[in-house]
Amino acid sequence: MAAGREKYPEKCPWDFGPNQNQSDQSNWVMTNGEDAVIFAKNKEDSNYFYVTQNQTLKSILAYQARLTFQKLLDKGYKLEGRAS
């Protein structure tokens, strides 16, 4: 049985580049109804992100953060816009 490949996101909100208006934020919030997941860059080690979900904080590698971001999009989560 062949294993399915995970979808790797081309762009995440923390990426720099054209049309990326949220890359300078300190954290990014994705919501789906009452559920929220917060992504934040580790300021001491750029290879890691902090992810908070259900009041649980995890430190994960940057590529894992990208995969988690894509999985949440696939599950119907939406990225909140820039706070005013």
Q: Is residue 10 part of a domain?
A: no
pLDDT of residue 13: 80
CA 62, 36, 43, 82 torsion-angle sign: positive
pLDDT digits (tens, 9 = 90+) for 25-70: 789 999 999 999 999 999 999 899 999 999 999 999 999 999 999 9
Q: Is residue 65 part of a domain?
A: yes
Q: Is residue 22 part of a domain?
A: no
Q: Is residue 17 part of a domain?
A: no
Task: Tell whether the model's pLDDT for residue 1 goes beyond 90.
Answer: no
**Which structural domain range is residue 75 located in?**
27-79
| Contacts of 72 by beta carbon, 8 Å cutoff, 6+ apart | 30, 32, 37
Q: Is residue 73 part of a domain?
A: yes
Q: Is residue 43 part of a domain?
A: yes
Task: Tell whether the model's pLDDT for residue 23 goes beyond 60.
Answer: yes
